[in-house]
């Protein structure tokens, strides 16, 4: 911190990166149009011509500059993670982590370190939909007082491959097939599953991709993982292995496949819009940073290799310590300048954080830097405002495309005497980065450790850790994905791999894809248990996670003229206080009149929204309102579709009649007492006589916190 003051810079705090970007921000209000050289322009609607109907003249510098800039406005999209959304925020550690790492941003609980986070899909192009089945990128840039630290991760803790040399093959296989450029943003095609069926090491990742984890409800409701094993190194040089986790405080929740597909058509920007609107409304996404720390002497105690990126450390063996919180509280000012141009690289570390010999990580240390050079025009991408650290940069790396810094002085080399030996080397005690002194020796060989060769134990662990509804959804996903595969031999090979994970899983998948499963007595590879392990891990199941918050949820209130104003206000107020958002949904935009004369504004009409855009629905009473809704097919479909997707449905007084019209009264009235004040059954909460009673409101909030009520999936013939 003293060095920062000496250099005339403020200490690092939450607003330091924001202030840093102010230099580059521009507001057009009250300004005149100019060229890039500052020349004011008085006409931009017509090019300069030789006569009214004559040819355009080459001397029209304004036309040429405007058109040239337009021709070059698009940079190459990322090969993977092309479609994303970003947000600014800050991170605060809870207490000093000096015992395990010298990283300064993990020392002082009073310091708010600025961050920029980019969430993304992996496979699709920039124009693809948000809700496709895919892994999600979760990359965080910490602007620390020691330089930038990039935690580049995903919402899935493992990866498809163990060695980065296979990454081009993986991406080529999963991208649209080269002969016809289809399908977009989807793994459901022959080339991907051909590759996977020949790569048993991918089976753990495949189980995650087929699970509901691959269709998150919101960026604020998905976990993040650093994937690789890194090292923490403390001031004394003592190292420990570390895995990074992001734990969302809104809980971990997913979409169902049917609504994910419908959202891709109704609003392909669903996840990006949800992130933007939540921040604009002050419902800031919050994540706790967690770490799993393993002592060096315990490196080999597990039945898997810590350097294998296709494996997790089960939380039951090494609990996740939550060491700090990240709050995302500001949207970007310009998508291209910030979200599109931000450049992450796992090689951007700070003192106290170091690498391991994970062969996938080692390859990423090369590829991330290499791809920025072509995508962002050359070696000066770090000078783009969003990528600039908040500390001063001094080195002898000059020139190149798009250089922003104007270096003064004669010397651009080291050692030198003409420049006073500057920029000089920083010793360890002044924050100089020192690589961990790991002993490395061995023959130059192309091979893989025997400890990397168990490809099925953790895939089985994942399968056995899921609840029955989660297992059913995974099987249905396999039916969809492999049902799109035309080559029968590929489907057969995949069943053989599923058999290795679990014979019953293979039988269930086989039932939907037209090829027989291996017999239950077909051989299963012997699992070599050479260390500690677990048979089940509840932490791998979303359904077994906490369900105690409705923060960030969206609730639709279906109403028409004549609605019960008191019921709407009571429920709406309670939901807002609990952190949820509500919207009035009706047939037309405009305002509605309550039965007692109050007016309320309609937020969305049926034609532009649907139940798939909400986490729950509420139907207030009011004879006239309910009578009108019962005649509207859109309203009945809204209720049925929400019910089909196992979402909470609430209704009060006359509003219960709309649920009965939608033919779900068998759930409303589970017993003979049909006139009960309050009935809560399978996520359907009704109050026949109440007017916003606290009991109804609390029961409805509890139903929303549970997210889905899977015991309703057994109800057949839901017309939605």
pLDDT in tens, 111-148: 999 999 999 999 999 999 999 999 999 999 999 999 99
Asked about 154 being catalytic, the answer comes back as yes
- Residue 229 tokens read as 């094993």
Nearest to 227 by CA among 360, 349, 399: 360
> pLDDT higher for 413 or 664?
413
Contact 314, 534 (CB under 8 A): yes
Query: pLDDT: is 522 or 562 the higher one?
Result: 562
CB distance 622 to 590 below 8 Å: no
Higher pLDDT, 2 or 694: 694
Q: What is the phi/psi pair of residue 167, to 5°?
A: -65, -45
3-state secondary structure at position 262? helix
Entry pTM: 0.93
Name every residue whose Cβ is closer than 8 Å to that of residue 343 and which is 6 or more positions away in sequence: 372, 375, 376, 381, 382, 384, 387
The predicted structure's pLDDT at residue 68: 86
pLDDT of residue 666: 65
What pLDDT does residue 3 have?
A: 43
More confident residue, 308 or 27: 308
- DSSP label at residue 335: I
Question: Among the options 81, 88, 204, 253, which is catalytic?
Answer: 81
Last residue of a domain, one of 339, 370, 387: 387
Mean pLDDT of 473-491: 98
Of the listed ranges 344-358, 473-487, 677-691, the one predicted with least confidence: 677-691
For 188, residues 6+ apart whose C-beta sits below 8 A from its C-beta are 133, 480, 481, 482, 483, 484, 485
Average pLDDT, the chain: 92
Domain end call among 363, 387, 411: 387
Q: Please state, in angstroms and as integers, the Cα–Cα distance from residue 681 to each residue in 165, 245, 671, 678, 687, following that order.
A: 53, 35, 10, 10, 12
pLDDT value, residue 4:
41
Task: With residue 372 as reference, give the H or E element that holds it.
Answer: helix 359-375
To the nearest 10°, report the CA torsion of 559, 565, 566, 570: 50
Over residues 435-447, the pLDDT tens digits come to 999 888 888 888 8
In-domain check, residue 287: yes
pLDDT tens digits along 501-552: 999 999 999 999 999 999 888 988 877 678 999 999 999 999 999 888 999 9
The whole-number pLDDT of residue 691 equals 57
Instruction: For residues 284 and 590, give the distance between their C-alpha atoms in angstroms, rounded to a whole number.
Output: 29
Q: What CATH number does the domain containing 282 carry?
A: 2.40.180.10
Torsion of CA 199, 507, 256, 543, to 10 degrees: -90
pLDDT-above-90 percentage for the chain: 78
Tell me if 271 is assigned to some domain: yes
| Least-confidence region, from 23-27, 479-483, 488-492 | 23-27
Identify the CA nearest to 638 among candidates 624, 618, 652: 618
Quickly tell me which residue has 């009706």 as its tokens: 586
Q: How far is residue 343's CA from residue 78's CA, in Å, rounded to a whole number? A: 10
How many whole angstroms separate alpha carbon 717 and alpha carbon 714?
A: 10
pLDDT band, very low/low/confident/very high, at 90 (cuts 50, 70, 90): very high
Which of 241, 229, 230, 233 minimizes the C-alpha distance to 101? 233
> Is 563 within 8 Å of 570 (Cβ atoms)?
no
DSSP string, 7-70: TT-PPP-TTHHHHHHHTT----TT---B-TTS-B-S--SS--BSSTTSPBPTT-HHHHHHHHHH
Is the predicted pLDDT of residue 416 greater than 80, yes or no?
yes
What is each CA distance from 66 to 73, 402, 584, in whole angstroms?
Answer: 11, 19, 44
Quick one: average pLDDT of 551-560? 97
Q: SS3 of 5, please?
A: helix
Q: Quick one: DSSP state of residue 381?
A: G
Residue of 615, 660, 613 whose CA lies nearest to 636? 660
Residue 106 banded pLDDT, cuts 50, 70, 90: very high
SS3 of residue 600 by DSSP: strand
d(CA 648, CA 54): 67
- Selected catalytic residue, list 7, 42, 72, 154: 154
- Average pLDDT, integer, range 67-79: 88
Residue 12 included in any domain:
no
Residue 675: band (very low, low, confident or very high) from pLDDT cuts 50, 70, 90: low
Are the C-beta atoms of residues 559 and 592 closer than 8 Å to each other? yes
DSSP characters over 682-702: TTEEEESS-SS-HHHHHHHHH
- Which CATH number does the domain housing residue 590 bear? 3.40.50.880
Length of the chain: 720
User: Residue 6: is its pLDDT beyond 50?
Assistant: no
294, 265 Cβ separation under 8 angstroms: no
What are the helix (H) ranges across 609-655?
Answer: 623-630, 633-644
Residue 323's closest CA among 559, 27, 108, 623? Answer: 108
Return the half-sphere exposure (C-beta side, CA atoms, 13 A cut-off) of residue 185. 24
Pick the last residue of a domain from 387, 420, 437. Answer: 387
Tens of pLDDT, residue by residue over 138-190, are 999 999 999 999 999 999 999 999 999 999 999 999 999 999 999 999 999 99
With respect to residue 625, please indicate whether it lies within any of the assigned structural domains: yes
Cα–Cα dist 269/277, whole Å: 12
pLDDT bucket at 715, cuts 50 / 70 / 90:
low
pLDDT of residue 9: 44
> Directed axis angle between helix 468-483 and helix 203-210, to 10°?
100
Listed in sequence order, the residues at least 6 apart from 531 whose beta carbon sits closer than 8 Å to its beta carbon are 300, 301, 302, 303, 304
Is-catalytic flag, 605? no
> For residue 77, what pLDDT band results from cuts at 50, 70 and 90?
very high
Closest CA to 199 of 539, 512, 21, 453: 453
Q: Is residue 588 situated within a structural domain? A: yes
Q: What are the tokens at 242?
A: 């570390």
Q: Please check whether residue 490 lies inside any domain of the structure.
A: no
The answer to whether residue 338 sits within a structural domain is: yes
The total number of structural domains that make up the chain? 2
Domain that holds residue 90: 84-186+214-387
Q: How far is residue 536's CA from residue 90's CA, in Å, rounded to a whole number? A: 35
How many whole angstroms separate alpha carbon 591 and alpha carbon 593? 7
Radius of gyration from C-alpha coordinates of the chain: 29
For residues 374 and 6, which has the higher predicted lDDT (pLDDT)?
374
Neighbours of 95 (CB within 10 A): 11
Q: Does 179 reside within a domain? A: yes
Q: Which two tokens stand for residue 247?
A: 């734990």
> Which pairing describes strands 239-248 and 230-233: parallel, antiparallel, or unpaired?
antiparallel
DSSP string, 134-181: S-EEEEEEEEEBTEEEEEEEESSSS-S-SSGGGHHHHHHHHSPBTTTT
Q: Is 27 a residue whose pLDDT tops 90?
A: no
Is the pLDDT at 8 greater than 50? The verdict is no
């Amino acid at each position: 911190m003293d060095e920062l003051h000496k250099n005339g810079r403020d200490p690092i705090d939450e607003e330091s990166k924001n202030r840093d970007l102010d230099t580059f921000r521009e507001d057009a209000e009250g300004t005149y149009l100019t060229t890039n050289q500052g020349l004011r322009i008085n006409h931009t609607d017509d090019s300069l011509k030789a006569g009214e109907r004559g040819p355009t003249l080459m001397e029209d510098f304004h036309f040429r500059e405007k058109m040239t800039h337009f021709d070059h406005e698009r940079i190459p999209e990322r090969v993977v993670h092309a479609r994303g959304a970003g947000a600014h925020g800050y991170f605060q550690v809870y207490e000093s982590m000096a015992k395990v790492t010298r990283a300064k941003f993990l020392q002082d609980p009073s310091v708010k370190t600025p961050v920029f986070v980019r969430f993304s899909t992996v496979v699709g192009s920039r124009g693809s939909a948000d809700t496709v089945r895919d892994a999600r990128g979760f990359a965080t840039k910490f602007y620390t007082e020691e330089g930038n630290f990039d935690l580049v991760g995903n919402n899935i803790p493992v990866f498809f491959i163990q060695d980065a040399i296979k990454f081009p093959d993986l991406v080529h296989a999963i991208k649209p097939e080269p002969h016809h450029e289809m399908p977009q943003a989807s793994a459901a095609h022959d080339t991907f599953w051909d590759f996977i069926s020949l790569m048993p090491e991918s089976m753990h990742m495949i189980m995650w991709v087929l699970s509901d984890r691959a269709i998150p409800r919101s960026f604020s409701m998905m976990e993040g993982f650093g994937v690789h094993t890194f090292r923490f190194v403390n001031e004394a040089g003592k190292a420990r292995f570390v895995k990074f986790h992001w734990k969302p405080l809104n809980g971990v929740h997913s979409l169902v496949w049917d609504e994910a597909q419908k959202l891709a058509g109704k609003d392909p920007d669903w996840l990006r819009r949800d992130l933007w609107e939540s921040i604009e409304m002050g419902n800031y996404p919050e994540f706790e940073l967690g770490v799993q720390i393993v002592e060096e002497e315990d490196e080999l105690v597990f039945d898997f290799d810590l350097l294998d990126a296709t494996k997790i450390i089960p939380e039951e063996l090494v609990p996740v310590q939550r060491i700090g919180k990240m709050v995302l509280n500001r949207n970007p000012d310009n998508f291209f300048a910030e979200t599109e141009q931000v450049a992450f690289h796992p090689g951007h570390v700070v003192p106290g954080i170091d690498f391991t010999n994970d062969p996938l990580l080692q390859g990423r240390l090369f590829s991330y830097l290499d791809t920025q050079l072509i995508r962002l025009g050359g070696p000066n991408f770090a000078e783009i405002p969003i990528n600039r650290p908040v500390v001063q940069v001094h080195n002898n790396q000059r020139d190149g495309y798009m250089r922003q810094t104007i270096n003064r002085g004669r010397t651009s080399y080291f050692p030198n005497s003409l420049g006073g030996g500057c920029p000089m080397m920083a010793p360890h005690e002044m924050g100089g980065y020192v690589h961990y002194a790991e002993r490395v020796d061995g023959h130059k060989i192309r091979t893989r450790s025997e400890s990397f060769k168990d490809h099925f134990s953790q895939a089985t662990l994942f399968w056995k850790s899921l609840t029955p509804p989660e297992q059913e959804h995974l099987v249905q996903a396999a039916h969809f994905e492999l049902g799109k595969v035309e080559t029968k031999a590929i489907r057969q090979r995949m069943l053989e791999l599923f058999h290795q994970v679990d014979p019953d899983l293979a039988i269930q998948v086989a039932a939907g894809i037209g090829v027989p499963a291996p017999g239950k007595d077909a051989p299963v590879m012997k699992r070599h248990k050479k260390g500690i392990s677990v048979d089940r891990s509840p932490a791998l199941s979303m359904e077994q996670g906490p369900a105690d918050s409705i923060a960030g949820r969206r609730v639709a209130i279906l109403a028409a003229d004549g609605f019960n104003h008191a019921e709407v206000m009571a429920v709406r107020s309670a939901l807002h206080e609990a952190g949820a958002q509500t919207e009035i949904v009706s047939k037309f935009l405009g305002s509605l009149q309550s039965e007692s004369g109050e007016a309320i504004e309609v937020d969305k009409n049926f034609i532009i929204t649907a139940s798939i855009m909400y986490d729950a629905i509420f139907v207030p009473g009011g004879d006239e309102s309910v009578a009108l809704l019962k005649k509207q097919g859109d309203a009945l479909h809204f209720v049925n579709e929400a019910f089909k997707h196992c979402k909470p449905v609430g209704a009060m007084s006359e509003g219960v009649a709309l649920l009965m019209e939608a033919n779900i009264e068998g759930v409303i009235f589970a017993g003979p007492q049909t006139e009960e004040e309050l009935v809560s059954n399978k996520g359907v909460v009704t109050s026949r006589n109440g007017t916003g009673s606290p009991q109804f409101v609390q029961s409805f909030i509890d139903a929303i916190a549970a997210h889905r009520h899977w015991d309703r999936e057994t109800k057949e013939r839901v017309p939605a």
